[in-house]
Amino acid sequence: MDRMFDLETRDEPQDDPLAQATAAVEELRTANETFRTTTDQTIAELRQQVTDLETRMARPRGDGAPTDGELPIERRAFTNFLRLGEGRMAADEVRALIVGDDTKGGYLAPAEFQAEVIRGIVEISPIRQAVRVGSTGAGSVILPKLTGRPTAQWVGEDEDRPETTQTYGQIEIPIHEIACYIDVSLRLLEDAAINVESEISAELSQEFAGKEASAFSNGDGAKKPVGIQRMPIPEVVNGHATNLSVDALISLMFGMPQAYRNVGSWLMNGTTVAAVMKVKDVGGNYIWQPSIADGRPATLLGRPIIEDPTMPDIASGAFPIIYGDFSKAYRIYDRVGMSILRDPYTQATKGLVRFHARRRVGGGPVLSEALRKLKMATA
């Protein structure tokens, strides 16, 4: 019996290396399948997120905000910067603000906000509507100007031919800086019903527009542009010190080259416009004609009138009217970027937050021959 028991014990199966290897392979295969399934799910989720993002970016935009009513993070960050300051903003909003290299200490306004300010300036400043406006990223703009003309002439068969050359000069328009600040009450900033951007935009529009319009019209070039009134423009003398002459206006208009005359405009202030409206020709007809369609200006001798409040009134020795092609005669260049700096400390005791704004713009004459001005006779 003891021997049989020993034989049965020897016949029991021992640990099989092949079985162990097979089990390990099966376990590895199961783990690999699980990893592949998890990876496929992760990739599918990422693809769906990318698809959703592309769909949102492809949606048509009106005022710069997505169609689902959610503001872009850049604009939301800028609004919260105005309301709260950087210290109380979320981390992703701080990252969304763009700091420009040339505006140390200030955040650049987002594109939507900057566009609102520019639109306000265009509506208020009449010079911008008449001249050519561009943009630049430099501290000044240099324009080449033709200063010499060909000198061809009639010659005989064996006479020497004259040399004809064209010479060029340069006109440099420096970019100047204009700055201002406004104080906004904490209550206004904390009131969620108030559109802080619109309020500040309106204030900046008024401030910048008033200064720019004055400089573009009558600036002396000292830390500001040289204005149109300071250009060396050919003049036509009116026959009277206070009464406008129809003959003088006709001479003013037709005394310039046809290319400028046919696309020209009149520049004068509201008081002069009122005086022009009363002027009649020899046949008793008013030379001023009202607008025949909405959005079109009134005309004088068939050409539109631009009303500029900075032009002088009719008076002895004054220059109340300028006529010509302003798009050829004058240029304005906006420096890219307008910065806003929030100062919550200076006026804190008064419950106010001060916002410092600055932008850079330049303007200057480029072609005086495209304009003519009327000089009232000296009494």
pLDDT 10s digit of each residue in the chain, 379 long?
444 444 444 444 456 777 777 877 788 888 888 878 888 788 877 777 777 766 655 544 434 444 455 667 777 777 777 777 777 777 777 666 654 444 445 666 777 676 667 667 766 778 888 899 988 888 888 888 766 666 777 888 788 877 777 667 788 899 999 998 888 888 888 775 667 777 787 788 788 888 888 899 999 999 999 999 999 999 999 988 888 988 999 999 998 899 999 999 999 999 999 999 888 877 888 888 877 666 677 888 889 999 998 899 999 999 999 999 999 999 999 986 678 888 989 999 999 989 888 889 999 999 999 999 999 988 6
Q: Compute the distance between CA of residue 204 and CA of residue 181 in angstroms, rounded to an integer.
A: 8
Q: Are 320 and 244 in contact (CB under 8 A)?
A: no
Q: Are 303 and 264 in contact (CB under 8 A)?
A: yes
Is position 169 within any domain? no
Q: Compute the distance between CA of residue 102 and CA of residue 304 in angstroms, rounded to an integer.
A: 41
Is position 296 within any domain? yes
**Number of domain units in the chain:** 1
pLDDT in the model for residue 105: 56
Residues, the chain, total?
379
Q: How far is CA 229 from the centre of its chain?
A: 25
pLDDT in the model for residue 359: 86
Q: Which amino acid is at 92?
A: D
Q: List phi, psi (to 5°) of 99.
A: -100, 120
Q: Compute the distance between CA of residue 107 and CA of residue 139 in angstroms, rounded to an integer.
A: 20
The CATH code of the domain that includes 255 is: 3.30.2320
Is position 129 within any domain? no
pLDDT in the model for residue 12: 46
3-state helix, strand, coil in the chain (%, to 5): 40, 25, 35
pLDDT in the model for residue 5: 42
Q: Are 75 and 115 in contact (CB under 8 A)?
A: no
Q: Supply the pTM of this predicted model.
A: 0.68
pLDDT in the model for residue 44: 78
Is position 220 within any domain? no
Is position 308 within any domain? yes
pLDDT in the model for residue 311: 92
Q: Which domain holds residue 284?
A: 231-334+360-375
Burial per residue of 256-292, b for 16 or more beta-carbon CB atoms within 10 angstroms, e otherwise: beeebbeebbbbbbeebbebbeeeeeeeeeebbeeee
Residue 232: other Cβ atoms inside 10 A: 9
Is position 323 within any domain? yes
Block residue for tokens 């783990």: 31
Token pair of 238 as six digits:
């009116």
Is position 313 within any domain? yes
Q: Compute the distance between CA of residue 190 and CA of residue 90 in angstroms, rounded to an integer.
A: 17
pLDDT in the model for residue 18: 75
